[in-house]
Structure 1
Amino acid sequence: MDSLMLASELAKRPVVTLDGEAVAEIKDTVFDGAAGQITGFTLNGRGLLAGPLKQSLPWSSVHALGRHAVMIPGREALAEPAAVVASGEAAHGAVPGAKVLTEEGVEAGSVLDVVVAPDGRVVGFRISATEAFVHREHGRNGVFVPRGEALAVSGRALVLPSGASHFVADDLPSFTTQVEIFAARAADTGPRGADAGTAAEGKEHL
C-alpha cells in the first residue's frame, strides 16, 4: 500500500499544475461519508495575505495527491465552491472530536484525525484511546484504527466493529500493515461484513 497521510496534513499543501504553476493551497478537505472518499478541497490563495478563494478543487480533477503537493492538470481543474461544498455527497464526513464507541457500547475515545490513501480513500482514523479500548502498551494520546464496512458514524459517534482493537497501531508506518491485514480479514469474512452493514442501516459508513 502507498504511503498513508493524515487529512490534517493536507492543509496548506500547495496545489500545483503539471506545468509547475502553484495556483492555490488546500484549506479544508471535504469527505463523502457514505463512500469513505475525499470529495474535494476548499482552497486558499497563495501568500501570507491571501484568503479563501471563491473556487474549489473536486477530487475528480486531481491528478495526484502527493506528499508535498496536490497535482492538477491545469487551472481549468478548479471549479465553483458549490462543486465540492454544496454537493449532497459532500455533506457529511468524519468530524474530529466525535465520540468513538465499540459495538458493545464501550467508549473508545474520540476522533483526532482521518487517515487517507493517495487515491483519496478514507482507510482509517486516528483516535484518542481509553484504557477500556486498547492495552496500555499503546499510546493513549492517539492510536490508529482501520476503517471497515462496519465502521459507522451515527450522529456524532463513530461506532467500531468487534475486534477493532486488535488492529490498532501507534504510528502511520505500522498502521499501513494493519490496514492491509484488516482488509484481508474483511475479504475473508464478506458475508459477516454484509450483516454488519445491515445492522448499521441508517448510519453513515466511513
Structure 2
Amino acid sequence: MSTLLLASEITGRPVVTLGGEAVARVKDVVVDGRAGRVSGFTLSGLGLLSGPKRRALPWEAVSSLGPHAVMIQDETVFRNRDEVADAAEAADGSIFGARVLTDVGTDLGQVTDVVIEVTASQAVVAGYEIAATAAPARKRHSVFIPLARTIAVSGEALVVPAAVADFVSDDLAALHKAIPEFRSHMSGKKP
C-alpha cells in the first residue's frame, strides 16, 4: 500500500524517536533526481528561534513517515548534512519554479511542489503539482501530473513526453489512480 504526499506537507513535521521524544523538525525534503527517490531530510531545531541543524536524516534511518511525524529509532541515526543533502542538491538543483514542457512544445505549467509516493520501504517521486497553463488546467489553477521519464532538464524547464497531458489530475486521489494507468500506457501494456 502506498500514500501520496506533497513535499510541502512533510516540511515542518516533527522528528520523533520511538521513545516519544521530539528531537527536530523537517526543514526540507532532499530528492535525488537521478534515482527519483527521497534521499533524506534536512533538519531544523524545535524552538521558534531555532535555525537549521548541521545534521540530517537519511531516508534509510526513517522508521516510519506518518501523517503527523517522522519516526526514528533515536538520534544516533542522524548524519552530517553534507552526507545526505549536498550530493543530491549538486546533481539536481531545485526544480521548483521550472516550466514543464512536453516534447511537442506544449507548456503545461510551472512546478510548485513534488508529489512523493511513500511505501513501507521507500519514498519515490511520483509526480509534480504544477501551476497550470490554460491547456490542462480544467477548472483549477493547480493540477497534478504523474512523473514521466524526463527527456531533458535545465535550470528553467523539464521536458516530458506529450502523453503526460492526458493524465493531468485535479487532486492527489485522482493522481494516485492515474499513476498506474500512466505507467501502463508508457510501457505499452494494458492496465
> TM-score, normalised on structure 1?
0.83
Structure 1 stretches of 5 or more lacking a match?
A: 190-206
Report matched runs for 1:34-113 at 5 Å. Answer: 34-87=34-87, 89-91=88-90, 92=92, 94-113=94-113
Aligned to 1:199: none
CA contact (8 A) 1:138 1:169 kept: no
- The amino acid of 1:129's aligned partner reads A
Q: 1:148: Cα distance to partner?
A: 2.1
Is 1:123 equivalent to 2:129 in the alignment?
no
Aligned partners of 1:187 and 1:68: how far apart in 2? 36
Aligned partners of 1:161 and 1:138: how far apart in 2? 23
More strand, by proportion: 2
Aligned residues: 185
Report matched runs for 1:143-154 at 5 Å. Answer: 143-150=143-150, 152-154=152-154
**3-state SS, counterpart of residue 86 of structure 2:** coil
What are the superposed Cα offsets for residues 138-190 of structure 1, whole Å, 9 maximum, x if unpaired? 41x1110000224642332011212111111111111110112112223435x
> TM-score, normalised on structure 2?
0.89
> Alignment identity in percent?
44
What are the superposed Cα offsets for residues 22-46 of structure 1, whole Å, 9 maximum, x if unpaired? 1100001111111111111110111
- The amino acid of 2:28's aligned partner reads D
Aligned partners of 1:151 and 1:68: how far apart in 2? 35
- The amino acid of 1:128's aligned partner reads A
Aligned to 1:195: none
- The amino acid of 1:145's aligned partner reads I
What are the superposed Cα offsets for residues 71-108 of structure 1, whole Å, 9 maximum, x if unpaired? 11111111111111222x44215521111111011222
CA contact (8 A) 1:33 1:94 kept: no
- The amino acid of 1:183's aligned partner reads R
Is 1:188 equivalent to 2:191 in the alignment?
no
Aligned partners of 1:3 and 1:12: how far apart in 2? 18
Structure 2 stretches of 5 or more lacking a match?
A: none
Is 1:137 equivalent to 2:133 in the alignment?
no
Aligned partners of 1:66 and 1:152: how far apart in 2? 33
**3-state SS, counterpart of residue 186 of structure 1:** helix
Aligned to 1:159: 159
CA contact (8 A) 2:113 2:129 kept: yes
